Amino acid sequence: MYELVALKELSSNESGSTHEFAAIQSEGYLLARRKAGTLSGNHYHKGESLAKNPESLVLVQGRVKLSVKSLETGDNEERVIDSPIIIRIKPKVIHTLEALTDIIFIEFNSLEEHKSDTYYPA
């Protein structure tokens, strides 16, 4: 239903750390900031847009609870995830992010790509 991909740590010292990841081709990118306690998502993608097959985002800062449910099997799962990490969500999986702290994430899609392949459960 989803995959977590660790970012490659290039260096780390008392001043912080530097990580590397490959960007995914897209018409644009979205930077999102959410306050602790807020929910994002509660939708799914059919995979009609290449940017949503799978949907990929980088959790840059913070901690989230990811809730997923497969439309095909009905299987569901919840997992707490800490940054920095890449989250890839497969098509036809309802997904919701609950910000457990203030968070920052980058979506590898433009707003138009997002709108063209976003559906809400009945």
Query: What are 70-110's pLDDT values in tens digits?
Result: 999 999 999 999 999 999 999 999 999 999 999 999 999 99
- Whichever domain contains 42, its CATH number is 2.60.120.10
Strand ranges inside the chain, DSSP E? 2-6, 8-13, 16-20, 30-34, 39-43, 55-61, 63-70, 76-82, 85-89, 93-99, 103-107
pTM of the shown model: 0.93
Cis previous bond, 91, omega within 30: no
Range of the domain at 49: 2-7+25-116
Pairwise CA distance, residues 85 & 111, whole Å: 22
Q: Is residue 96 part of a domain?
A: yes
| 29-67 confidence digits (pLDDT tens) | 999 999 999 999 999 999 998 899 999 999 999 999 999
Structural domains of the chain, count: 1
Cβ–Cβ under 8 Å, residues 29 and 109: yes
